[in-house]
């Protein structure tokens, strides 16, 4: 087979215009890229880089307001930009297929998953009903779903996120497409599920001899599966090459910046916090959720937090790591008394915080502050940043003028301009908003700061920036921090000590290096083994730059 | 699904029982019914006679059970005002009201579903604007005024349709339009909003990515999801039309149950009021039950609730 026959997708000089008034004239500019058979090409870039637009253009799913103005998208030799919608839809789901980011909402809740897979056969082939069914069952087996017969009759809401993503993959694989486009297919999944899906992709590359275009923002994922890498920034391809070249010897400053932001595998030993006073102590904390018994359904109980014991010393950063459903968020809610605890106690600074009467709680709230996951949802869109910053201290009796002064000071600390005080949240990016949220939490001078997945929603380079900022502020203000995350690498990078939670219990605890390099618990070992990019040692960008490469 | 239907049935029965207690209790909330019946000038003896005659002297639970037992068999007692069996009065008129209600809700759905869907496919298009215009007018025009306009045009000027009565199917055309138009705006808006929401959802994108034709994406994948809240609203509207079509019935001199309700309220005819409240409430309960079952059939996630 010659090289051209091997090329499934060849994008040439593609430019897509953005509607007037955007932050730049083109969503994608002069893009060139190839995807060959049996090859995984990763497109990497941060949000807004144009990577998703590229995949939607190829699939013909671009929103109407966006129009390719130049170039061609050659799929098996045909320019799909010249196809009518009807012709394009004959290729979709048939010769080219796509897998999306959000498995929870990618399937129609009203139909069984078997029905939704079969529909692809019904659309693109003349198979009989029984043949379609047999093929569907076979596909379910191929994407490693247990009991294909049972899954066939299941509705999406009866399946987990990972299982749903396998269904979406099965839909994509049904007609044995030549091109598979995956848009952040593992971003919404837990690390162990991600690892299984990624190995499924590696397998598919061989068994289906398809070309795979894999869009991601995560360099660890790239290191795990990519044959070739395309790096995009603001609609432009800034670098492309083999995985080895791009990951280990990045040339473009932007690629270097992105790789430099990848959390390190190791870190230097933190200053000792041994002997510092204990600021927060959690004793045998229990929280169980009950659904009330009704006439028709028996009561159900979920043990969200079981027998959790913790000690946090002044100046310490304690990482709490766990997958979704591990109970880490419930634990946080119990600690700050957003939820009442069933049993046990939370001590803060020698006072039993969990038993303070509701009426007196107000004064104690300022000792402990929290930064949430979603920087978009946690600021009121209709009030100025200044208003939202001073609200806390004013609430505690600080005169507004003094509070405003403090707000200015904090904006400086989180490296924001003073005029942000008079602006509204929608005028800021996700990273800026998260910095505002940090400032907001610090306004009442808390002793303990809780960061609940506070960097998970951010791009890697922004994530690094926010993490550095948190570390600096912590140092400067002598804060104690609880860092809740699902990402082991991020936890290891920022924490002195780590606890790993699984099914509401702490299964492992120790200092970061210890947990990381010598895990004792089976679950922790499983989590660590599931982390993508194991074989990749992140290059020392500073050294590369010194060498002038 | 069977379990779901049984659960809902039991719940509907319990609601029905509660409603029956309330509608029975209404008689006593309005004061001593014997005094009300006897009139302002009645002597104590006269009141006592009436009390005994109508059985008001028995313990209230006994009266309730007696009344409920009869009601289940379709016997609502004698109208205090007309002095004839309440059930005869109601059932002779209920046919008119039910016919009108069913016609009107069908008319409303036939207008609002297609227009809601079409305007959601192309928001801000000419058709969308026309739909919004129809909806706004529908909300703004009072039913009686719209009814009179229709009578002036079709009965008086053109002479096509009868202006009043309920003798032929032609008599129902204008009332259907008036009552149906009243329910149309809300149903249309809900369909439109639901469709817009569903069409931008991830699973519609998945359906398109499968290469399905637009028609199939629209009807198989989008409409089924979008129509669920519309079903619930239509059930409530239907109940409302049966009980609240007084204005329309009056304008077109359709002597239905709505008209009877209005009469019995103004004449303090307690036993008729009791019976009508019970029957109208039962309609609500039945339609809500049917809507719940239909929605559970549409969306499997609702079946476990």
For A65-81, the pLDDT digits (tens) are: 888 989 999 999 899 99
Q: Quick one: CA dihedral A108, A114, A120, A123, positive or negative?
A: negative
Give the Cα separation of B127 and B115 in Å (integer): 8
Helices (H), A249-296: 253-260
Tell me how far apart the terminal alpha carbons of chain B are, to the nearest angstrom: 10
| pLDDT score recorded for residue A108 | 94
**Number of Cβ within a 10 Å radius of residue A126:** 7
A-chain CB neighbours of B212 within 8 Å are 89, 93, 119, 123
**Which residue of chain A has the CA closest to B14?**
A295
| pLDDT score recorded for residue B203 | 93
Q: Quick one: CA dihedral A267, A269, A273, A275, positive or negative?
A: positive
Give the Cα separation of B243 and B281 in Å (integer): 9
- Stated as kind and residue range, the H or E segment containing A304 is strand A300-313
Q: Which of A513, A99, A12 has the alpha carbon at shortest distance from A265?
A: A513
Is the CB of A110 less than 8 angstroms away from the CB of B300? Answer: yes
Phi, psi of A175 (to 5 degrees): -95, 15
Is the CB of B203 less than 8 angstroms away from the CB of A61? Answer: no
Is the CB of A89 less than 8 angstroms away from the CB of B221? Answer: no
Pairs of residues, one from chain A and one from chain B, whose beta carbons lie less than 8 Å apart: 73
Scan for tokens 């039913």, then name that residue.
B143
- Stated as kind and residue range, the H or E segment containing A524 is helix A522-530
Give the Cα separation of B294 and B90 in Å (integer): 29
| pLDDT score recorded for residue A3 | 58
Locate B50 and state its tokens: 């009436």
**Which residue of chain B has the CA closest to A118?**
B210
Examine the pLDDT at A237 and tell me if it is beyond 70. yes
**Which residue of chain B has the CA closest to A171?**
B210
Locate B136 and state its tokens: 């706004």
Q: Nearest C-alpha of chain B: how many angstroms from A165?
A: 12
- Stated as kind and residue range, the H or E segment containing A124 is helix A113-124
Q: Is A87 on the interface with B (CB under 8 A)?
A: no
Q: What is the pTM of this model?
A: 0.81
Is the CB of B225 less than 8 angstroms away from the CB of A108? Answer: yes
Which of B3, B203, B211 has the CB atom closest to A89's CB atom?
B211
Q: Is A269 on the interface with B (CB under 8 A)?
A: no
| pLDDT score recorded for residue A268 | 61
Indicate the angle between helix axes B257-266 and B223-244, nearest 10 degrees: 50
Q: Is A294 on the interface with B (CB under 8 A)?
A: no
Which of B208, B212, B298 has the CB atom closest to A110's CB atom?
B298
Residue B157 has what DSSP assignment? I
Q: Quick one: CA dihedral B245, B248, B250, B252, positive or negative?
A: negative
What percentage of chain A exceeds 90 in pLDDT?
32
Q: Is A499 on the interface with B (CB under 8 A)?
A: no
**Which residue of chain A has the CA closest to B3?**
A296
Is the CB of B208 less than 8 angstroms away from the CB of A124? Answer: no
**Which residue of chain B has the CA closest to A174?**
B210
Q: Which of B285, B211, B278, B255 has the alpha carbon at shortest distance from B100?
A: B255
Examine the pLDDT at A250 and tell me if it is beyond 50. yes
Examine the pLDDT at B193 and tell me if it is beyond 90. yes
Mean pLDDT of B65-72: 85
Which of A93, A110, A155 has the CB atom closest to B209's CB atom?
A93
Mean pLDDT of A407-416: 86
- Could you read off the pLDDT of A170-209 as tens digits, one per residue? 999 899 899 999 998 888 778 888 888 898 888 888 888 8
Q: Quick one: CA dihedral A18, A24, A26, A27, positive or negative?
A: negative
**Which residue of chain A has the CA closest to B201?**
A105
**Range with the lowest mean pLDDT among A307-316, A377-386, B40-49?**
B40-49
Mean pLDDT of B271-287: 87
Whether residue A226 contacts residue A539, with contact meaning beta carbons closer than 8 Å, is answered with: no
Is the CB of A90 less than 8 angstroms away from the CB of B298? Answer: no
Q: Is A89 on the interface with B (CB under 8 A)?
A: yes
| Cα angle, residue A379 at apex, residues A392 and A258 outer, rounded to 5° | 120
**Range with the lowest mean pLDDT among A429-438, A508-517, B48-57, B123-132?**
B48-57
Q: Is A109 on the interface with B (CB under 8 A)?
A: yes
| pLDDT score recorded for residue A295 | 60
- Interface residue ranges in chain B relative to chain A, Cβ cutoff 8 Å: 3, 7, 10, 201-203, 205-213, 216, 221, 224-225, 298-301
Is the CB of B225 less than 8 angstroms away from the CB of A109? Answer: yes
Locate A175 and state its tokens: 């007609």
Whether residue A44 contacts residue A258, with contact meaning beta carbons closer than 8 Å, is answered with: yes
Helix (H/G/I), strand (E/B), else coil: A27: strand
Is the CB of B205 less than 8 angstroms away from the CB of A168? Answer: no
Helix (H/G/I), strand (E/B), else coil: B262: helix
Greater confidence, A33 or B52?
Answer: A33
A-chain CB neighbours of B299 within 8 Å are 109-110
Give the Cα separation of A437 and A66 in Å (integer): 34
Helices (H), chain B: 2-29, 33-38, 44-53, 60-72, 86-121, 126-140, 143-150, 173-199, 202-209, 214-216, 223-244, 246-251, 257-266, 270-298
Q: Which of residues 3-42 of A touch B (CB under 8 A)?
A: none
Is the CB of A105 less than 8 angstroms away from the CB of B213? Answer: no
Q: Which of B243, B112, B115 has the alpha carbon at shortest distance from B183?
A: B112
**Which residue of chain B has the CA closest to A177?**
B210
- Could you read off the pLDDT of A222-232 as tens digits, one per residue? 999 999 999 99
- Could you read off the pLDDT of A85-112 as tens digits, one per residue? 899 999 999 999 999 888 888 999 999 9
Q: Nearest C-alpha of chain A: how many angstroms from B290?
A: 18
**Which residue of chain A has the CA closest to B7?**
A296
Q: Is A100 on the interface with B (CB under 8 A)?
A: yes
> How does residue A4 score in pLDDT terms, banded at 50, 70 and 90?
low
Give the Cα separation of A189 and A197 in Å (integer): 9
Q: Nearest C-alpha of chain B: how many angstroms from A501?
A: 30
Interface test with A, best of B125, B210, B226 (most A CBs within 10 A): B210
**Range with the lowest mean pLDDT among A3-7, A28-32, A146-150?**
A3-7
Report residue A95 CA to chain centroid gap. Answer: 30
- Residue A165 CB burial class (10 angstroms; 0-12, 13-18, ≥19): buried
**Which residue of chain A has the CA closest to B226?**
A110
Is the CB of A107 less than 8 angstroms away from the CB of B206? Answer: yes
Give the Cα separation of B269 and B258 in Å (integer): 14
- Stated as kind and residue range, the H or E segment containing A515 is helix A512-517
Average pLDDT, chain B: 85
Examine the pLDDT at A497 and tell me if it is beyond 70. yes
A-chain CB neighbours of B224 within 8 Å are 110
B-chain CB neighbours of A110 within 8 Å are 224-225, 298-300
Examine the pLDDT at A19 and tell me if it is beyond 90. no
A-chain CB neighbours of B301 within 8 Å are 109, 155, 157
Whether residue A316 contacts residue A280, with contact meaning beta carbons closer than 8 Å, is answered with: no
What percentage of chain B exceeds 70 in pLDDT?
98
Is the CB of A106 less than 8 angstroms away from the CB of B203? Answer: yes
Q: Are strands A317-321 and A497-502 parallel, antiparallel or unpaired?
A: parallel
Whether residue A159 contacts residue A113, with contact meaning beta carbons closer than 8 Å, is answered with: yes
What Rg value do the Cα atoms of chain B yield, rounded?
24
Residues with Cβ within 8 Å of B214's Cβ and at least 6 positions away in sequence, in order, are none
- Stated as kind and residue range, the H or E segment containing A216 is strand A211-216
B-chain CB neighbours of A184 within 8 Å are none
- Could you read off the pLDDT of B102-161 as tens digits, one per residue? 899 999 999 999 999 999 988 888 889 998 898 888 888 888 888 888 888 888 888 788
> How does residue A1 score in pLDDT terms, banded at 50, 70 and 90?
very low
**Which residue of chain B has the CA closest to A116?**
B207
Interface test with B, best of A57, A294, A296, A297 (most B CBs within 10 A): A296
> How does residue B242 score in pLDDT terms, banded at 50, 70 and 90?
confident
| pLDDT score recorded for residue A445 | 85
Residues with Cβ within 8 Å of A216's Cβ and at least 6 positions away in sequence, in order, are A42, A43, A44, A184, A186, A187, A222
């Amino acid at each position: 087979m010659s090289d051209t026959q091997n090329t499934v997708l060849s994008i040439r000089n593609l430019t897509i215009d953005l509607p007037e008034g955007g932050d730049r004239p083109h969503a994608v500019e002069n893009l060139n890229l190839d995807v060959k058979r049996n090859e995984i090409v990763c497109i990497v870039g941060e949000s807004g880089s144009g990577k998703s637009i590229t995949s939607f253009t190829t699939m013909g799913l671009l929103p109407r307001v966006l129009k390719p103005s130049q170039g061609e998208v050659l799929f098996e030799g045909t320019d799909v930009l010249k196809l009518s919608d009807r012709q394009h839809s004959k290729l979709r789901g048939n010769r080219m297929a796509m897998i999306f980011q959000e498995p929870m909402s990618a399937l129609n809740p009203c139909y069984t998953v078997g029905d939704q897979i079969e529909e692809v056969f019904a659309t693109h082939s003349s198979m009989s009903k029984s043949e379609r069914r047999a093929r569907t069952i076979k596909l379910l087996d191929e994407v490693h779903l247990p009991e294909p017969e049972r899954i066939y009759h299941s509705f999406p809401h009866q399946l987990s996120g990972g299982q749903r993503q396998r269904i979406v993959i099965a839909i994509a694989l049904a007609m044995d497409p030549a091109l598979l486009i995956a848009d952040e297919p593992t971003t919404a999944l837990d690390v162990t599920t991600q690892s299984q899906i990624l190995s499924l992709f590696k397998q598919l590359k061989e068994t289906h001899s398809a070309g795979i275009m894999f869009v991601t923002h995560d360099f660890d994922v790239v290191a795990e599966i990519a044959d070739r890498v395309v790096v995009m920034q603001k609609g432009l391809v800034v670098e492309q090459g083999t995985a080895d070249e791009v990951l280990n010897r990045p040339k473009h400053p932007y690629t270097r910046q992105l790789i430099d932001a990848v959390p390190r595998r190791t870190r230097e030993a933190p200053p000792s916090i041994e002997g510092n006073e204990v600021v927060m102590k959690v004793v045998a904390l229990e929280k169980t959720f009950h659904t009330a018994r009704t006439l028709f359904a028996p009561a159900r109980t979920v043990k969200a937090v079981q027998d959790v014991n913790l000690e946090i010393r002044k100046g310490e950063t304690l990482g709490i790591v766990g997958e979704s459903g591990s109970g880490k968020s419930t634990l946080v809610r119990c600690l700050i008394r957003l939820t009442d605890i069933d049993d046990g106690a939370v001590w803060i600074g020698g006072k039993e915080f969990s038993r303070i009467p509701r009426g007196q709680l107000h004064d104690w709230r300022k000792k402990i502050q929290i930064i949430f996951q979603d920087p978009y949802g946690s600021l009121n869109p209709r009030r100025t940043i200044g208003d939202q910053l001073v609200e806390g201290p004013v609430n505690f009796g600080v005169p507004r003028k003094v509070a405003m002064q403090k707000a200015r000071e904090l904006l400086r600390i989180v490296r924001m301009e003073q005029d942000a005080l008079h602006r509204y949240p929608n005028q800021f990016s996700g990273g800026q908003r998260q910095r505002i949220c940090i400032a907001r939490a610090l306004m009442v001078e808390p002793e303990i700061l809780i960061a609940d997945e506070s960097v998970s929603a951010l791009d890697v380079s922004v994530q690094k920036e926010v993490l550095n900022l948190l570390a600096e502020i912590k140092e400067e203000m002598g804060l104690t921090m609880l860092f809740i995350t699902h990402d082991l690498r991020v936890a290891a990078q920022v924490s002195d000590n780590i606890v790993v939670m699984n099914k509401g219990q702490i299964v492992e605890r120790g200092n970061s290096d210890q947990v990381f390099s010598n895990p004792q618990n089976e679950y922790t070992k499983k989590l660590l083994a599931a982390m993508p990019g194991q074989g990749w040692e992140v290059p020392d960008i500073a050294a590369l730059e010194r060498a002038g490469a | 699904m069977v379990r779901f239907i049984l659960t809902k049935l039991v719940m509907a029965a319990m609601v029905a029982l509660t409603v029956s207690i309330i509608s029975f209790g209404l008689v006593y909330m309005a004061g001593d019914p014997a005094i009300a019946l006897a009139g302002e000038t009645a002597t104590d003896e006269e009141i006592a006679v009436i009390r005994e005659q109508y059985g008001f002297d028995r313990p209230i639970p006994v009266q309730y059970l007696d009344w409920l037992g009869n009601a289940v068999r379709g016997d609502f007692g004698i109208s205090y005002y007309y002095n004839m069996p309440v059930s005869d009065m109601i059932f002779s008129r209920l046919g008119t009201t039910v016919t009108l209600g069913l016609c009107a809700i069908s008319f409303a759905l036939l207008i609002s579903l297609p227009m809601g869907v079409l305007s959601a496919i192309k928001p801000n298009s000419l058709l969308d604007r026309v739909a919004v215009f129809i909806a706004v007018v529908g909300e703004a025009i009072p039913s009686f005024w719209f009814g009179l306009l229709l009578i002036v045009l079709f009965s008086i000027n053109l002479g096509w349709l009868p202006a009043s009565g309920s003798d032929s199917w032609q008599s129902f055309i204008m009332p259907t339009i008036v009552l149906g138009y009243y329910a149309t705006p809300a149903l249309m808006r809900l369909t439109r909003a639901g469709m817009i929401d569903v069409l931008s959802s991830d699973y519609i994108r998945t359906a398109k990515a499968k290469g399905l034709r637009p028609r199939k994406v629209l009807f198989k994948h989008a409409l089924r999801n979008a129509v669920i809240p519309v079903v619930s609203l239509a059930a409530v509207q239907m109940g409302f039309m049966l009980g609240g079509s007084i204005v329309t019935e009056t304008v077109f001199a359709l002597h239905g149950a709505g008209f009877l309700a209005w009469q019995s309220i103004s004449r303090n005819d307690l036993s008729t009021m009791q019976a009508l409240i019970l029957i109208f409430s039962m309609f609500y309960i039945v339609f809500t039950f049917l809507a719940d079952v239909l929605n559970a059939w549409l969306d499997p996630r609702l079946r476990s609730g």
